[in-house]
Amino acid sequence: MNDTIFLAWSVDIAFVLLMVAMVLAFVRLAKGPTLADRVVALDMMTVLIVAFCGVFAIASRDRTFLDVALVVALIGFLATVALARFAERRQKRREGDGA
């Protein structure tokens, strides 16, 4: 019985901490000030969503959410790579205009 109570408390605490981290990452995404800050904040939010799906899978005892977490992680990885390429091209364009 104590294991069930401990798991319930742990899941509740994990949800709260994930939501606090999500709010802080959203603030960094909104404030910036640079594109790199925004890309890192977006990547952090993706990781937090994956973690949320994992914790929700534990809470609901439904493995389907692990599949959702995997898909979100793959999409987040591709988005991060695309944003990094965009930032790199943007930087090269700025260096080319300044020379």
Which residues lie closer than 8 Å to 57 by C-beta, 6 or more apart?
63, 64, 65, 66, 69
For 78, the token pair is 């591709």
In three-state secondary structure terms, 88 is helix
For 85, the token pair is 């390429």
pLDDT at site 98: 60
In this prediction the pTM is 0.85
User: What are the pLDDT digits (tens) for 33-70?
Assistant: 988 888 899 999 999 999 999 999 999 999 999 999 99
2-98 in CATH: which number?
1.10.287
